[in-house]
């Protein structure tokens, strides 16, 4: 019976370590999501500014297209990070 308790204790210790790892990873991913969101918002603001000026210059049109692509990529990155955070949160809930 004592061996059973020992095995249980080891499993609990492994679960606690995994919980610490997942908590740290979730925190890191939340930080990444926040940064990606800020970058996307900044790019969207710049994109709007350039769209307003795009009619006056063809060089700005190129910048507008580049920023539009960047905004799209940042949105995709943000969604990927959000999915990873949700997955980690699910794992944490199961522990």
Would you state the pLDDT for residue 54? 61
pLDDT at 24 over 70: yes
What are the phi and psi torsion angles at 56 (to 5°)?
A: -90, -15
Would you state the pLDDT for residue 64? 77
Which residue range is the domain that position 49 belongs to? 2-94
pLDDT in tens, 44-54: 888 888 777 76
- Give whole-number Cα distances, 47 to 38, 62, 70, in Å: 14, 11, 10
What average pLDDT does this structure show over 29-58?
81
Number of domains in the chain: 1
Q: Rounded CA gap, 93 and 95, in Å?
A: 5
What average pLDDT does this structure show over 44-73?
78
């Amino acid at each position: 019976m004592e061996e059973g308790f020992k095995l249980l204790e080891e499993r609990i210790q492994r679960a606690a370590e995994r919980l610490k790892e997942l908590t740290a990873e979730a925190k890191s991913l939340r930080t990444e999501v926040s940064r990606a969101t800020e970058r996307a918002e900044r790019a969207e603001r710049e994109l709007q500014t350039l769209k307003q000026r795009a009619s006056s210059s063809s060089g700005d049109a190129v910048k507008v297209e580049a920023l539009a692509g960047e905004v799209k990529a940042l949105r995709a990155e943000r969604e990927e990070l959000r999915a990873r955070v949700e997955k980690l949160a699910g794992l944490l809930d199961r522990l």
